[in-house]
Structure 1
């Protein structure tokens, strides 16, 4: 039994191109209330019922965020379309099954690499993928791995497509260069905002109008859907420059500081190299290394290759074994950071006093993190005195590096 829906009544305006596009990449950034996620959910439910051999993979950075977001949105979409009796939404394993055909919507997180690379379906073909909150995916390689898993020949009339939805984020993110700064028949890149959502109430629109008048910076991002961070950036006094760090190192009052944050599978190991002048309150970040999957011998080799083996390097104290191994590999001046219950806040407070200048060409990942590191918010949107646990690998290394400067001179006998 077929069921007809009115796109205008169910979705509303602003998404006709999104609905009709058949190219490989369909990318939507939007402000609050722009309908991007609910439209993606309705599209997938509707089209899986139209294409009885199609299956869908839904991806977020971390798996445990699906249940209260994409899984719930897709379940809501079946009710919106009046077809909830035809679908089963399971919690273990987390999936959605179209009863008449056995087609599935699978949910995965990039925090489980094996789960991403070993995707199989029982019925039909894996045709589509939906990346929700795609700005959280910092490493383009993670996206590429999933992209490559949507492959193979499909029956006539079927098509492969990856949909990415996200709130606008800083313009240094790889999403902008990959999808918004190019022109390709295989890419539909859209920016949407609350003005295309006719289902909002007058009180909702009044909030955006108040924001436009009273908080224009926030309105530009959350209202209009433009690139940038609306509010709550941890570090605001920073910029990029092309500078000669060797010349700065010769100026009076500057000293070199080095910090190392360990990572491996999901997070990068991050080395940050800076010149700091405590009296002038200036900090020049002149070099970085930012790479996942590095063993300790690889880290040691990188430090030697860069010429920093004889420098004092302050490293993440939560991995004493790694620090010991780096010493055994010839990094003799490596030391553990002196972490404490308030060390993150104290380190941030100290760095906020400085004008931070980042080398424009040598330190792209430091710039991305500085542009993306924000304070957590509670359910009411109030900012907390605690930073988010993302976009912080290089910045943690930066905090470690200035620890001795912040605490003053220490002596050993």
Structure 2
């Protein structure tokens, strides 16, 4: 059984001296891959039950479960290690097993026993209360206990930074993150710290590094996270890549898109809030979003709303709307509009905000005045301590939410997922050494 690993992760793979392993890094650094490989090697060696946690259970299937299953196959062990899809579980011939849970289903955690190893993937998305609860679930009568936490860096107000690095307000210092960026790996107390960037993944092509470098121009905060893999104070502006362009130019540029995806999104309102409808088009090659038409009105009933939107009956354009208003959706559909409700799930506000931030440019026609008013200087809401709340904003941005719904089911290419950082048996091609 041979498996090639990135040199920066070789010591990490076999180090089990500490209770906690905290991995932070940029996109494509291969940290998740090596955590998965580390766990598989450990469970082959000794009988354990490992618990893999994400904030939302449904995200496991295309991330942690897929990654672990892929490594089992790469190791040539798929005839001995069973990867069961329903419920998701990985079973080893020696009795070891990997089970998958989400913090959005806390009742499912109560039945878990004898877990000696926990992996919190994207741990910054898990709430601090959830982390502390999981510590209580980590118990075994004889085996040494381990918890592995992996994440992309976020704001310094996130619990992962406050707990594992420093809480300046409470004058608590565990480790200065700048020391970690310099040393790359460190051991402090019972925690093994590991920092990585895409440069540590020798299996990535140069083109991927170049894409990460482009972020420096259109989103400095994302560049810090994705390219440098560093914590920091997030800028307050939600969409720094938002720009206003003359309507004629927007329409001209849209005609030159080779593979456009046209979408229409709708948010509902009545007295204090607005009905917002947005027409948009995605340039799937450049990862640009164009906003070229808006409807924005409040204080009207469903009959007037349909009358205002009759042109959509004629055009047959699909409208994806806020599913929280099923009666209005039903009425508009009955009148002849091609309309459906968007899929909502726990954490969807944050997921949709992240999706919007992945666009390299959000280009808005200067005729969409309400969209400009709401989105150009949209800022995050903050808590009593002045910390940013990543899924709440200073205003109720109806146009922003209409765009969320319109983009339901479409995913902006995430550089982090595009190259997952998964080494293969092939030798790396074209990478700087």
1:141 aligned partner: 129
Cα deviation 1:305-340 (Å, max 9, x = unaligned): xxxxxxxxxxxxx89xxxxxxxxxxxxxxxxxxxxx
2:156 aligned partner: 171
In the alignment, is the contact (CA less than 8 A) between 1:59 and 1:131 conserved in 2? yes
1:23 aligned partner: 18
Q: Which SS does the other structure have where 2:82 is aligned?
A: strand
1:94 aligned partner: 88
In the alignment, is the contact (CA less than 8 A) between 1:55 and 1:128 conserved in 2? yes
2:197 to 171, 185, 193: 193
Instruction: Measure the CA separation in 2 of the matches of 1:47 and 1:115.
Output: 25
Cα deviation 1:195-226 (Å, max 9, x = unaligned): 10011123223333444577654332211111
**Residue 18 of structure 1: CA displacement?**
2.5
**Residue 231 of structure 1: CA displacement?**
9.4
1:380-391 to 2 correspondences below 5 Å: 380-381=412-413
Instruction: Measure the CA separation in 2 of the matches of 1:356 and 1:218.
Output: 16
Instruction: Measure the CA separation in 2 of the matches of 1:37 and 1:220.
Output: 19
TM-score by length of 1: 0.55
**Residue 229 of structure 1: CA displacement?**
8.6
Q: Which SS does the other structure have where 2:120 is aligned?
A: strand
1:145-156 to 2 correspondences below 5 Å: 145-154=133-142
Q: Number of residues paired by the alignment?
A: 263
Q: Which SS does the other structure have where 2:116 is aligned?
A: strand
Instruction: Measure the CA separation in 2 of the matches of 1:235 and 1:210.
Output: 16
Gap regions ≥5 residues in structure 2: 167-173, 176-187, 241-271, 273-323, 326-341, 343-348, 354-368, 415-433
1:109-148 to 2 correspondences below 5 Å: 109-120=102-113, 125-137=114-126, 139-148=127-136
Instruction: Measure the CA separation in 2 of the matches of 1:371 and 1:227.
Output: 21
In the alignment, is the contact (CA less than 8 A) between 1:29 and 1:167 conserved in 2? yes
Q: How large is the RMSD of aligned CA atoms in angstroms?
A: 3.9
Distance 1:39 1:196, change over 3 A: same
**Residue 82 of structure 1: CA displacement?**
2.4
1:379 to 405, 411, 432: 411
Q: Which SS does the other structure have where 2:195 is aligned?
A: strand
In the alignment, is the contact (CA less than 8 A) between 1:63 and 1:109 conserved in 2? yes
Q: Which SS does the other structure have where 1:96 is aligned?
A: strand
Distance 1:75 1:381, change over 3 A: closer
Cα deviation 1:64-100 (Å, max 9, x = unaligned): 11111111000011123222221111111211111x2
In the alignment, is the contact (CA less than 8 A) between 1:140 and 1:174 conserved in 2? yes
Instruction: Measure the CA separation in 1 of the matches of 2:378 and 2:216.
Output: 29
Distance 1:30 1:353, change over 3 A: closer
1:198-217 to 2 correspondences below 5 Å: 198-212=202-216, 216-217=220-221
1:218 aligned partner: 222
Q: Which SS does the other structure have where 2:134 is aligned?
A: helix
TM-score by length of 2: 0.52
1:50 aligned partner: 45
Q: Which is bigger in relative contact order (C-alpha 8 A, separation at least 6)?
A: 2
2:63 aligned partner: 69
Distance 1:235 1:48, change over 3 A: same
Instruction: Measure the CA separation in 1 of the matches of 2:95 and 2:229.
Output: 38
Instruction: Measure the CA separation in 1 of the matches of 2:393 and 2:378.
Output: 15
In the alignment, is the contact (CA less than 8 A) between 2:116 and 2:140 conserved in 1? no
Instruction: Measure the CA separation in 1 of the matches of 2:132 and 2:216.
Output: 37
